[in-house]
């Protein structure tokens, strides 16, 4: 369809029809207009899989890919493109033409709850990888929706906080990945952040949407709000927001009326409707309307997707330490797999990025498959739960009418459930539900029980009240901050089955926040008092101990920030105890971001595996046994102490998490390694760091020129030699330093990178290109990108702390490029 066709279609539409397109029909779909053959378009989260239209837990099965930080660790542009192509097929299988992904906010504070979902602390790495993911996805006809635009770098008070960001930091850091996503990735859609940016909400911020995104960057796609993040009708439309999500319209309930009375709003409505139509067109939905209700689960059929996820998981795994070359393990190793993350595949983070994975392969399963059952033993050692685990059991739900009669029933699975839709005749705002399930006690004794709910809840066990989360409801860290705290109790149960009933009803929430109803019942036998001793014994009997520790999606999630940097539970003690019993101890860490490692010095080998998707256990086995080289390099600095985090300086609270409704990015340009360079701290592990099983050297680098004229480009050929006896991967990183500047600039900034795979003794080459923007800063007085004439240095190496090659570069005259966006 050409723009003339779109105009023609718009001309045929009534104002009412145009307005109807500008808010969702429901949680995941746009409004169809049958009279004009305009089909509905379905969207789905994103970013590590395509969940489909079901709830966050217990929906249709789908492939779980590595989370953002794991993909970020690969530094592999081609791999990200492939991931995009595969995700497109996943989205189409769920009837969706739009994936709500990738998440490309920057890792500013190490305590951001969605740290796991983002790619990196660096805008260049985030932008390049994001653009490749988008290209892959869209090449297969599915729209990307880059999110969350902009300044959404933490979860604290996320629905209202005002991010106060100076112009240079905004341009050089936080907007930069979005600029890549639009200009290089060609993203067809973008999602605004929940937060305010320097005053107005992002969803009604004309400077952000109209001036910069559309005006400067030439974005011609669709802008949608985050879920429940639209706050006005005409005002948001006039600012350039096309689509309120979810639907039906709430903030935009009065949009038709406003448009009838105001010419500017009428024009904005037409533009926004055009953007919705264009997205329907671009995703091929006019020609091939999908059945947006049909969702298929394909796993067996997609061996290639499983292989890709496994490969990507290994390529994102970072080898942080390998004293004495302890890894890889020999093929006949006898291994004790120990720790709370050994038997549970931690494959994803929490919040809207979660999905019902086809499988969650645990490290224990992966190592058993690789080494044989008989060579692998196990002990749990300690626990690391934030909330008690849920159960995978049948769940029967009855909805009760006024007089207590059953008006509808549903059958689901799991002891956690979340509602995005209700059976016919059930009012989401006032329903009463009774959920029944069976608790099985394998033997008589004490059991831990818990209840957390978005809504008022009560748990009865065998007819007796066990937890009252109704009269005493207290807000907590569950369900995006809309849920209660987790209430726990201990109960003596006889061996066998026990009847559990949960009663639930919604509770009113503040105006402007969408209401969520959800409940989780946790149940488990308390940890054995001999758990630590058992782990020590099992470790001492094996050749090697692999200690699987870290966190999970209850700790690393959306709506609340991270708890701190210490590993939760008794995990540090577990590592020390196992190490004392077996010097051949390998720590397999799985977290969504930096943590402290007080035991690091004594432990010979440490791998950071993140949450690498459904094949986690196999990917880890591949790396542990050397079937795959650990290809990951840290996309985020690991500070040595929380005080070294750039947002934890002399002015705590103001910079993080925020105070009086605002979070001030006072550190300006200095986050991640930029902060390390300025503050002179020594991180636990620097940005870009990661070992291989082989060793590399960078013998030489050849620039195409030592001088460049304004507007020109320089390329650098970097030689890489594999000096070892194994095939391995290396990431060549190129940073630029402005030597002569009198302006405050970071000591160095990543401007190019490339990854090579080389066989034993092989030498290869990486070709890296620098343009003028690689040398430039944003001059907020001139409103332009400016590269000053004079001396620069090109620093080349394999981490931000290891840059052995330096090439001088002279820019022969000043270069600048003005921007139209204004301030």
Residue (45 or 93) nearer to ligand BGC, CB:
45
Tokens of 520: 């989780």
- Sign of the Cα torsion 276, 105, 226, 93 reads positive
Give least dist CB 125 to ligand BGC, A.
21
Burial status of residue 319 (CB atoms within 10 A of its CB: 0-12, 13-18, 19 or more): buried
What is the C-alpha separation between 723 and 307, in angstroms, rounded? 29
User: Residue 100, interface with ligand BGC (CB under 6 A)?
Assistant: yes
Residue (226 or 385) nearer to ligand BGC, CB:
226
Give least dist CB 10 to ligand BGC, A.
28
What is the C-alpha separation between 690 and 327, in angstroms, rounded? 14
Task: Give the relative orientation of helices 77-93 and 303-315 as an angle to the nearest 10 degrees.
Answer: 140
User: Residue 501, interface with ligand BGC (CB under 6 A)?
Assistant: no
Residue (46 or 59) nearer to ligand BGC, CB:
46
What is the C-alpha separation between 618 and 371, in angstroms, rounded? 11
Give least dist CB 394 to ligand BGC, A.
26
Element (H, E) at 147: strand 143-149
Give least dist CB 712 to ligand BGC, A.
40
For residue 55, what is the DSSP state?
-
Q: Is 629 a catalytic residue?
A: no
Give least dist CB 224 to ligand BGC, A.
9
- Phi (first) and psi of residue 536, to 5 degrees: -60, -45
Give least dist CB 117 to ligand BGC, A.
8
Closest residue by Cα to residue 29 from 785, 38, 675, 340: 38
Residue (227 or 778) nearer to ligand BGC, CB:
227
- Phi (first) and psi of residue 144, to 5 degrees: -85, 155
Strand locations in 358-510, DSSP E? 376-379, 394-400, 406-413, 416-419, 432-441, 445-454, 456-461, 464-469, 487-493, 496-505
The answer to whether residues 409 and 397 touch, using CB atoms and an 8 Å cutoff, is yes
Distance in Å from the first CA to the final CA of the chain: 36
Residue (208 or 435) nearer to ligand BGC, CB:
208
What is the C-alpha separation between 764 and 768, in angstroms, rounded? 13
Active-site pick, 93, 122, 226, 622: 226
User: Residue 503, interface with ligand BGC (CB under 6 A)?
Assistant: no
Size of the site for ligand BGC (CB under 6 A): 7
Give least dist CB 555 to ligand BGC, A.
18
User: Residue 147, interface with ligand BGC (CB under 6 A)?
Assistant: yes
Give least dist CB 645 to ligand BGC, A.
23
Binding mask 690-709 for ligand BGC (x = CB under 6 A): --------------------
User: Residue 170, interface with ligand BGC (CB under 6 A)?
Assistant: no
What is the C-alpha separation between 149 and 166, in angstroms, rounded? 16
Give least dist CB 460 to ligand BGC, A.
32
User: Residue 226, interface with ligand BGC (CB under 6 A)?
Assistant: yes
Q: For the chain, what is the largest distance between any 2 Cα atoms, rounded to a whole number of angstroms?
A: 84
For residue 397, what is the DSSP state?
E
- Sign of the Cα torsion 325, 329, 333, 338 reads positive
Residue (9 or 516) nearer to ligand BGC, CB:
516
Residue (147 or 386) nearer to ligand BGC, CB:
147
Residue (46 or 328) nearer to ligand BGC, CB:
46
Distances (CA, A) of 546 to 222, 549, 554: 47, 9, 23
Element (H, E) at 720: strand 714-722
The answer to whether residues 223 and 242 touch, using CB atoms and an 8 Å cutoff, is yes
Binding mask 23-52 for ligand BGC (x = CB under 6 A): ----------------------xx------
Residue (224 or 619) nearer to ligand BGC, CB:
224
Of all residues in the shown chain, the one whose CB is closest to ligand BGC is 352
Closest residue by Cα to residue 697 from 634, 628, 758, 633: 758
Tokens of 676: 């390390």
Give least dist CB 83 to ligand BGC, A.
18
Instruction: Give the CA dihedral 299, 300, 301, 303, nearest 10 degrees.
Output: 90
Give least dist CB 415 to ligand BGC, A.
22
For 96-106, letters b (16+ CB in 10 Å) and e give: bbbbbbbbbbb
Closest residue by Cα to residue 65 from 45, 33, 87: 87
Residue (416 or 629) nearer to ligand BGC, CB:
416
What is the C-alpha separation between 380 and 809, in angstroms, rounded? 56
Give least dist CB 299 to ligand BGC, A.
23
Residue (352 or 637) nearer to ligand BGC, CB:
352
Give the footprint of ligand BGC on residues 1-20 (CB under 6 A): none
User: Residue 222, interface with ligand BGC (CB under 6 A)?
Assistant: no
Give least dist CB 227 to ligand BGC, A.
4
Cis peptide bond prior to 248, omega within 30° of 0: yes
Residue (100 or 676) nearer to ligand BGC, CB:
100
Residue (194 or 735) nearer to ligand BGC, CB:
194
Q: Does residue 615 sit in helix, strand or coil?
A: coil
For 786-821, letters b (16+ CB in 10 Å) and e give: bbbebebebbbbbbbbebebebebebeeebeeebeb
Closest residue by Cα to residue 177 from 74, 91, 68, 280: 68
Give the footprint of ligand BGC on residues 300-359 (CB under 6 A): 352
- Residue from 149, 188, 227, 753 that binds ligand BGC (CB under 6 A)? 227
Catalytic residue list:
226
Which positions touch ligand BGC (CB under 6 A)?
A: 45-46, 100, 147, 226-227, 352
């Amino acid at each position: 369809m050409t723009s003339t066709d779109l105009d023609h279609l718009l001309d045929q539409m009534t104002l009412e029809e145009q307005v109807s397109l500008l808010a969702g029909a429901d949680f995941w779909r746009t409004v169809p207009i049958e009279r004009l053959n305009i089909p509905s378009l379905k969207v789905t989260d994103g970013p590590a899989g395509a969940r489909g239209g079901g709830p966050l837990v217990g929906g249709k099965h789908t492939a779980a890919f590595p989370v953002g930080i794991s993909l970020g660790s690969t530094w592999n542009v081609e791999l990200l493109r492939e991931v995009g192509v595969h995700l497109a097929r996943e989205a189409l299988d769920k009837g969706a033409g739009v994936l709500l992904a990738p998440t490309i906010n920057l890792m500013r504070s190490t305590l951001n709850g969605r740290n796991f979902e983002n790619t990196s602390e660096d805008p260049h790495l985030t932008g390049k990888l994001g653009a490749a993911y988008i290209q892959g996805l869209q090449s297969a006809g599915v729209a990307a929706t880059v999110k969350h635009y902009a300044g959404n770098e933490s979860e604290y008070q996320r629905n209202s906080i005002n991010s106060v960001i100076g112009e240079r930091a905004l341009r050089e850091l936080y907007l930069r990945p979005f600029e890549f996503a639009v200009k290089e990735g060609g993203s067809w859609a973008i999602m605004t952040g929940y937060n305010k940016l320097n005053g107005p909400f992002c969803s009604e911020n004309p400077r952000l949407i109209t001036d910069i995104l559309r005006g400067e960057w030439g974005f011609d796609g669709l802008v949608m709000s985050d879920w429940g993040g639209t706050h006005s009708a005409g005002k948001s439309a006039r600012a350039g927001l096309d689509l309120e999500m979810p639907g039906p319209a709430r903030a935009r309930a009065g949009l038709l009326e406003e448009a009838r009375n105001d010419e500017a709003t009428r024009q904005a409505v037409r533009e926004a409707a055009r953007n919705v139509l264009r997205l329907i067109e671009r995703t091929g939905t006019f020609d091939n309307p999908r059945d947006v209700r049909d969702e298929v689960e394909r796993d067996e059929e997609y061996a290639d997707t499983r292989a890709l996820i496994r490969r990507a998981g290994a390529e994102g795994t970072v080898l942080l330490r390998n004293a004495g070359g302890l890894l890889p393990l020999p093929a006949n190793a006898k291994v004790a797999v120990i720790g709370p993350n050994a038997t549970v595949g931690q494959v994803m983070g929490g919040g809207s990025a979660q999905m019902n994975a086809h499988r969650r392969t645990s490290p224990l399963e992966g190592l058993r498959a690789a080494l044989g059952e008989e060579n692998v033993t196990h002990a749990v050692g300690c626990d690391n739960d934030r909330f008690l685990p849920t159960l995978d059991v049948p769940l029967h739900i009855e909805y009760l009418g006024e007089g207590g009669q059953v008006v509808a029933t549903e059958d689901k699975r799991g002891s956690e459930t979340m509602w995005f839709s209700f059976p016919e005749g059930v009012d989401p705002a006032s329903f009463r539900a009774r959920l029944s399930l069976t608790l099985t006690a394998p033997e008589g004794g004490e059991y831990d029980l818990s209840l957390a709910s978005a809504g008022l809840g009560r748990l009865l066990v065998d007819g007796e009240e066990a937890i009252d989360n109704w009269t005493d409801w207290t807000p907590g860290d569950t369900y995006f901050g809309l849920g209660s705290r987790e209430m726990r109790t201990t109960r003596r149960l006889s061996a066998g089955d026990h009847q559990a009933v949960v009663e639930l009803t919604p509770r009113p929430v503040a105006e402007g926040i969408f209401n969520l109803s959800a409940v989780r019942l946790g149940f488990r036998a308390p940890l054995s008092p001999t758990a630590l001793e058992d782990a020590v014994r099992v470790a001492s009997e094996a050749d090697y101990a692999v200690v699987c520790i870290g966190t999970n999606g209850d700790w690393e999630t959306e709506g609340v920030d991270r708890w701190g940097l210490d590993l939760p539970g008794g995990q540090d003690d577990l590592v020390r105890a196992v190490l004392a019993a077996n010097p051949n101890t390998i720590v397999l860490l799985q977290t969504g971001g930096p943590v402290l490692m007080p035991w690091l010095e004594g432990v010979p080998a440490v791998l950071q595996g993140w949450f690498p998707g459904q094949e986690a256990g196999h990917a880890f086995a591949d790396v542990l046994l050397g079937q795959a080289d650990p290809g990951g390099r840290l996309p985020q600095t690991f500070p040595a102490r929380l005080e070294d985090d750039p947002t934890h300086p002399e002015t705590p609270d103001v910079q993080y998490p925020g105070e009086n409704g605002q979070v001030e990015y006072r550190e300006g340009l200095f986050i991640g390694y930029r902060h390390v360079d300025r503050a002179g701290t020594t991180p636990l592990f620097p940005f870009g760091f990661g070992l291989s099983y082989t060793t590399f050297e960078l013998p030489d680098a050849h620039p195409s020129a030592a001088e460049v004229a304004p507007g020109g480009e320089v390329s650098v050929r970097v030689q890489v030699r594999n000096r070892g006896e194994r095939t391995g991967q290396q990431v060549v990183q190129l940073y630029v330093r402005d030597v002569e500047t009198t302006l405050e600039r970071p000591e160095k900034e990543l401007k190019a990178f490339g990854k090579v795979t080389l066989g034993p003794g092989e030498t290869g080459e990486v070709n890296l290109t620098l343009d003028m923007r690689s040398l430039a800063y944003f001059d907020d007085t001139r409103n332009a990108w400016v590269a000053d004439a004079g001396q620069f240095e090109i620093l080349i190496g394999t981490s931000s702390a290891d840059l052995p090659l330096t090439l001088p570069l002279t820019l022969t005259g000043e270069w600048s490029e003005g921007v139209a966006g204004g301030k």
